[in-house]
Amino acid sequence: MSLLSDLINLNLSETTDKIIAEYIWIGGSGMDIRSKARTLPGPVTDPSKLPKWNYDGSSTGQAPGEDSEVILYPQAIFKDPFRRGNNILVMCDCYTPAGEPIPTNKRFNAAKIFSHPNVAAEEPWYGIEQEYTLLQKDVKWPLGWPVGGYPGPQGPYYCAAGADKAFGRDIVNSHYKACLYAGVNISGINGEVMPGQWEFQVGPAVGISAGDELWIARYILERITEIAGVVLSFDPKPIQGDWNGAGAHTNYSTKSMRSDGGYEVIKKAIEKLGKRHKEHIAAYGEGNERRLTGRHETADINTFVWGVANRGASIRVGRETEKNGKGYFEDRRPASNMDPYVVTSMIAETTILWKP
């Protein structure tokens, strides 16, 4: 096995200019991350210099068998923490051979919203708090939980240390460093309220890059859990009962909100979000109704409420923002399995472009 590790860690740049590019895309379920690799003649840093590629969409639920070719358009490049050297991870989106975005390509519409002059002028910043659950591979039960049984009730696990309270820290720390290596703007990690559940934060990231970076961070986490023999779940309520669900709280600000007098802009934006509550909830992740019950630090799915420092609200404004009269707010409604392209662009569209 040591020879295997040596071969995996071979430094290609000692013998060749060629590099390996791992092309990554989102499959038909909207949550399955797919990828395949190709050799390129030399290092590349600009996605527009990368060749387009294709894959069999009939095997990912994205095209019929008789016309199965889907085209990958490279959109963002990251350093590859697994192969290292000059090798890269490439975030792609998907098109028909005629150049039309396929229905599951949510990045295309998001890029249109973010390139709108009114949105671009506001420089929307995002910080996404991605919660997830680590599961034992063969039983699909949270890591650290007795098989078929339950640990002690919630309380001691949040941000905790200790063999009886924190499960999977090696995975979490490996992911943290791998994201920093890749060039993902990961800003922190913490243990969550339910044992076996963790969170990482991506941001601040501007516009479309928030979606690209979160998807790459998810991909890296999938790869690390694969190595560790642990199953990664983005289910918003993996365990029914008196256990916290998993969300993807999305922190948001615009240039106007970050400037003097920004608190008034924030209040107007929240008012607009309240008027489109139903549309946002419909786009904020599958199974979110199991999580947004009004308990476990959530607002009820059918109710829109906002408040300062209120973790049981749909939208939370921080004390600091209220005090400074400017800053950002947090949309606590998105589920852990939300598509960041959809959520970030929808928040920008509602708060900047939508005229009620």
DSSP string, 52-92: PEEEEGGGTTSS-GGG-EEEEEEEEEEE-TTT-TT-EEEEE
β-partners of residue 143 are: none
Across the range 277-305, mean pLDDT stands at 93
**For residue 123, what pLDDT is reported?**
98
Domain covering 1-104 assigned CATH 3.30.365.10 in the classification: no
The rounded percent of the chain whose pLDDT value lies above 90 is 93
- At residue 232, does pLDDT exceed 90? yes
Cis amide bond preceding 334, omega within 30: no
- At residue 221, does pLDDT exceed 90? yes
Residue 298: pLDDT band (50, 70, 90) is: confident
- At residue 270, does pLDDT exceed 90? yes
CA angle 197, 336, 76 (to 5 degrees): 110
Quote the pTM value: 0.97
Across the range 287-294, mean pLDDT stands at 93
Domain range annotation of the chain: 1-104, 117-353
Q: What is the mean pLDDT of the chain?
A: 96
pLDDT tens digits for range 139-185: 999 999 999 899 999 999 999 999 999 999 999 999 999 999 999 99
Across the range 206-212, mean pLDDT stands at 98
**For residue 297, what pLDDT is reported?**
81
In DSSP notation, 16-53 reads -S-EEEEEEEE-TTSS-EEEEEEEESS----GGGSPPE
Residue 95: pLDDT band (50, 70, 90) is: very high
List for the chain the helix, strand, coil content (%; round to 5).
35, 25, 40
Compute the radius of gyration of the chain from its Cα atoms. 21
Phi, psi of 105 (to 5 degrees): -80, 95
**For residue 348, what pLDDT is reported?**
98
Across the range 215-225, mean pLDDT stands at 98
Run of H or E including 5: helix 2-8
**For residue 294, what pLDDT is reported?**
84
Classify domain 117-353 at the CATH class level: alpha beta
Q: Which two tokens stand for residue 286?
A: 């599958």
